[in-house]
Amino acid sequence: MKKLILILLAIILAFSIAACGGENTTSSEGTSSEFPVSSSGASEVSSKPTEVIESSEMLSESEEHTEEEKEILVAYFSWSGNTRQIADIIAQETGADLFEIAPTTPYTDDYNALLDIAQQEQSEDARPELDAQVENWDSYDMIFVGYPNWWSDAPMAVYTFLESYDFTDKTLIPFNTSASGGFGKSLTGISESAVGATILDGLELTEGELGEAQSLVTVWLDGIGLNG
């Protein structure tokens, strides 16, 4: 009888030990679950590299947009005001900056005397000193250069301007006003003086066409891909 009681006690004790062991195992699993790696947590971690890539792409696109923007300058020499009129229209159509090519010593207002001065400067291949310089030259990608026809050529002050700057990798677009002679021989001189420039088709207007200057300039700009 005593042996039977002892056996029963032993069995009860064994079950008690097994139960305690089961409770400890559950507690251990509960402890490890305090720092879960949830699906939402994994998503947040992986999203950070994606955000950096997107920001980099946006920056790259912004830089490309800045590089594509072209700064334009309209430089002109005008004695009577005709060439200035065309320069103003081009600047309005393209949003360009204006620069007047003017000698330090102004030319005379006397037309007949001016003819003699212009002819003498050409014979001497003179380079009159200019009264101003272009600021931030390197920022301009495209330069319109306008002038009247003097003895079938550009005024010598225009050549002073062209030879004062580096035209490498820049685009030069000439325009001209005259009684009838157009560009004359000036395009050859411009090509030789503006070394490194890419020269596009220019515009030449006679005095009789100045009344239609606005429409003529617009059509010309459209033709060379600069329609404002």
66's tokens: 């800045």
Q: Is the pLDDT of residue 52 over 60?
A: no
Q: How far apart are CA 91 and CA 67, in angstroms?
A: 21
The confidence band for 226, taking pLDDT boundaries of 50, 70 and 90, is confident
- Sketch the domain layout of the chain as residue ranges: 67-223
pTM, full prediction: 0.70
The confidence band for 205, taking pLDDT boundaries of 50, 70 and 90, is very high
∠ Cα 139 141 146 (to 5°)? 110
For the beta carbon of residue 138, count every other beta carbon within 10 angstroms: 10
Query: The domain 67-223: what is its CATH number?
Result: 3.40.50.360
Task: Say which residues have a Cβ less than 8 Å from residue 91's Cβ, sequence separation at least 6.
Answer: 74, 97, 98
User: To 10 degrees, the CA torsion angle through 70, 95, 155, 193?
Assistant: 0
Q: How far apart are CA 196 and CA 132, in angstroms?
A: 23
Helix (H, G, I), strand (E, B) or coil at 92: helix
